[in-house]
Amino acid sequence: MIARSAVAALPAFAPHLAPLFADEKSRGFRIGACEWSLRKGDPSSMDLAREIGIDGVQVAMGTVENNLHLRKPEVQQAYLDAAKRNGIEVASIGIAEMNQVPLKSDPRAIEWLVDSIAVAQALEVKVILIAQFGNGNLKGDKPGIDRTVEILKEHASKAEKAGVIWGLENLLSAEENLDILDRVGSSAVQIYYDVGNSTDQGYDIYKEIRMIKGRVCEFHAKDGKFMLGEGRVDFKKVREAMDEIDYRGWIQIEAAAPTNLITDYQAHLALLKTHFPLSV
């Protein structure tokens, strides 16, 4: 967690981060959704976000097929224009393609990792999600974890200088992720915590959230096949755990939509707003 005294030193590209350093009693939560969960892969995700009523969108860097198009200035501008037109924020970036092209084993993913810094600067966001599922799964893969640590250690100083954070999202426990962070030794590498994934793995999410104080950059809200609030995850207890670690910031919906995407996501949003208000 960045100290309050460091506010003046924040990169010039990140004025929107000021609310994170506002008075503890006034700053609150922002609720967005993952672009891939909205079944979009282009700036029209901002139009859909406005219709749902969320605050922002976690946008994807792209796919192998479009050569991770968010690296192109014209695509970046299209997203910024769509966000402004709809009164929606670009909340953060996700490199979901690393599930297919793993950081632990494919040089292309290292290039994407480094390129994501400039993309974050262009879009004026702080958090970049590093996806580690599918081909990129690290659970039980010590060589893969060791290689991931090597890569992050080699490049973390670049992210530090830019003032951005790489958030690791995977199937590892909080303890296993904290070990990676300790080995990397950089404030630019943190945990991207998904309450649904961790519940699926059998972890005590309320305990884990308390373990990662100051080392978590953002949260995903989902609960397997369930609508939020109707399944296994107690979001009141999630909020209590977040309060104990002083987390305020983005919560991205990555939840099921069994009936209708818009109405189901509006229901998710309504549930989350009862526990995670804009100002607290």
Query: Average model confidence (pLDDT) for the chain?
Result: 92
pLDDT band at 279 (very low <50, low <70, confident <90, very high): confident
CA distance 242 to 198: 15
C-alpha to C-alpha distances, 163 to 10, 17, 94, 123, nearest whole angstrom = 7, 11, 17, 13
pLDDT in tens, 121-132: 999 999 999 999
- pLDDT band for 280, please (50, 70, 90 cuts): low
Model confidence over 182-231: pLDDT tens digits? Answer: 999 999 999 999 999 999 999 999 999 999 999 999 999 999 999 999 99
* pLDDT of res. 260: 98
| Mean pLDDT calculated for residue range 100-127 | 98
pLDDT at 40: 97
The sign one gets for the Cα dihedral 226, 272, 13, 181 is negative
What is the per-residue pLDDT across 117-171, written as a single tens digit (0 to 9) for each? 999 999 999 999 999 999 999 999 999 999 999 999 999 999 999 999 999 999 9
Sign of torsion over alpha carbons 129, 96, 37, 122: positive
Q: In this predicted structure, what is the pLDDT of residue 7?
A: 30
State the residue for tokens 């976000």.
Answer: 49
* Domains defined along the chain, listed by start: 26-272 (3.20.20.150)
Q: Assess contact for 32 and 55: CB atoms under 8 A.
A: yes
Provide DSSP, the chain.
---GGGGGGS-TT-GGGGGGGS-TTT---EEEEETTTTT--STHHHHHHHHHT-SEEEEE---TTTTSGGGSHHHHHHHHHHHHHHT-EEEEEEEGGGGTS-TTT-HHHHHHHHHHHHHHHHHT--EEEEE--GGG--TT-HHHHHHHHHHHHHHHHHHHHHT-EEEEESSS-HHHHHHHHHHHT-TTEEEEEEHHHHHHTT--HHHHHHHTTTSEEEEEE-BTBSPTTSSS--HHHHHHHHHHTT--SEEEE----SS-HHHHHHHHHHHHHHHS-S--
Q: How far apart are CA 54 and CA 274, in angstroms?
A: 14
Model confidence band, residue 278 (pLDDT cutoffs 50, 70, 90): confident
Q: What is the dihedral of CA 46, 57, 271, 52, to 10 degrees?
A: 0
pTM, two decimal places: 0.90
pLDDT digits (tens, 9 = 90+) for 59-73: 999 999 999 999 999
Please give the Cα distance from 15 to 102 (Å, whole number).
32
- The pLDDT confidence band at residue 18, using thresholds 50, 70 and 90, is very low
The more confidently predicted of residues 92 and 6 is 92
CB count in 10 Å sphere of residue 243:
11
